[in-house]
Amino acid sequence: RKEVEQDPGPFNVPEGATVAFNCTYSNSASQSFFWYRQDCRKEPKLLMSVYSSGNEDGRFTAQLNRASQYISLLIRDSKLSDSATYLCVVNMNYGGSQGNLIFGKGTKLSVKP
């Protein structure tokens, strides 16, 4: 059973499009949620944390539904520079755990001119 599942992608969209990524996680004890971005052959970089109330950072909006164990990321007005793989990440961070990050496989986004 996969712990974090994402849309397989790839998503090919024109500049200016709105694109949405979805993610589900299997462990209801998960405590923290993130979207990371990974460029080809580079390290993951934090894009944004995801809070229960939903949060927005410029063109990016993240939502969390704990009841459905579902996380989403919306990118508005996509730019060429948004082309990357988007990783859904959860953190257990409970009890004695140091809270290792559990990654989804990622969804590749390609924004075309």
- For binding to another protein (CB under 8 A), which residues are involved? 32, 34, 38, 41-46, 49, 87, 91, 93, 96-106
Residue 31: CB minimum distance to another protein, A: 8
Contact present, 89 and 35 (Cβ < 8 Å): yes
Question: Which positions ≥6 away from 13 have C-beta within 8 Å?
Answer: 19, 78, 109, 110, 111, 112
Q: 40: helix, coil or strand? A: coil
Residue 17: CB minimum distance to another protein, A: 26
Kindly give the pairing relationship between strand 32-38 and strand 84-91. Answer: antiparallel
Which C-beta is closer to another protein: that of 76 or that of 105?
A: 105
Contact present, 85 and 109 (Cβ < 8 Å): yes
Q: Which two tokens stand for residue 30?
A: 């998960």
Which C-beta is closer to another protein: that of 27 or that of 32?
A: 32
Residue 15: CB minimum distance to another protein, A: 27
Residue 6: CB minimum distance to another protein, A: 9
